[in-house]
Amino acid sequence: WERAASDANPADQVRALLRSQFHVELGTIAWAKMYETLWQCDMMPGNSPAVPRRERGKPGVVSVHLCEAPGAFIAATNHFVKTHRQNWRWDWMAVSLNPYCEANDKFAMIEDDALIAATMPNWCFGADNTGDIRRISNIQAIWDRGKELCTRMGCPGGVLMVTADGAVDTSMDPNRQEMITASLHYCEVVAALGLLAVGGNFVWKGFTLYEHPSICSLFLMGCLFDKVLVYKPATSKPANSEVYVVGKGFRGVPTEVLELLLGNCGEDIFTGR
């Protein structure tokens, strides 16, 4: 199966070319997918209302990357900004399961911690230091840290872009992949809503979108964004069910609605529903 899936992937050589010809940081398929999404979906437009207008100096822009380790989305965003948005002052914050927290399941974490170790001040592991965004207190801590960063960067309205690349190992029950990952994806959406500036953009990785939690998440995004796309990058393996849900032009969310959504976050929120 792996050989057949590789043969069916026209972008299989992209990773090698990124490393040999362009020498990009963390030149992986994840890097290629993020860079392609940034470009094709115009995730960081220069004329976005989420980018502060300044008469002097460079505008400050922030992106937040959820479930990010080992960091390919950050590296791709860095490459894009340094290449195409040189008039910005850009900073970022990332969230992932803390590889140095003994309370975490070691099999659920990414082994490659090189970027985390080199950029530790940019990482937020939440109120309990686990980095698990399925916990309400951790989402609140992420919001607080994001607001501090945006204030420091001169964009108090919020962040321009949020990415979420979370997944759960479903190899023991692959037929239930969508439902097993549903709680994580819902929490990613809620976390993003509390971070984005009006006009900002959000992308999260999903899989099949047939079950009711996925449909509800799409409906929620349809209510809060000007445009919602379901997008599969050309560099995403065609033999898997992976897709990316893109929300363009965040409209804002009332505080009482956001608090209601936050109250429903948890590790297994759809069981029995």
Q: Which residues are catalytic?
A: 33, 165, 205
Q: How far apart are CA 162 and CA 202, in angstroms?
A: 5
Write out the H or E segment, with its range, that includes residue 231.
Answer: strand 225-231
Phi first, then psi: give them for residue 99, nearest 5 degrees. -70, -10
DSSP-based three-state secondary structure for 222: helix
> How far is residue 146 from each of residues 136, 140, 171, 251, measured CA to CA in Å?
15, 10, 34, 18
Contact between residue 108 and residue 124 where contact means Cβ atoms under 8 Å apart: no
The DSSP secondary structure of 108-136, one letter per residue, reads GS-S--HHHHHTGGGEE--TTSS--TTSH
- Rounded to the nearest 10 degrees, how much is the dihedral formed by the CA atoms of 137, 142, 146, 149? 100
The token pair that represents 66 in the structure block: 């959820």
**Alpha helices in the chain, H assignment, sequence order:** 2-7, 14-17, 29-40, 72-84, 114-118, 136-153, 177-180, 182-193, 212-224, 255-263
Strands 196-206 and 243-250: what pairing? antiparallel
Q: How far apart are CA 95 and CA 122, in angstroms?
A: 9
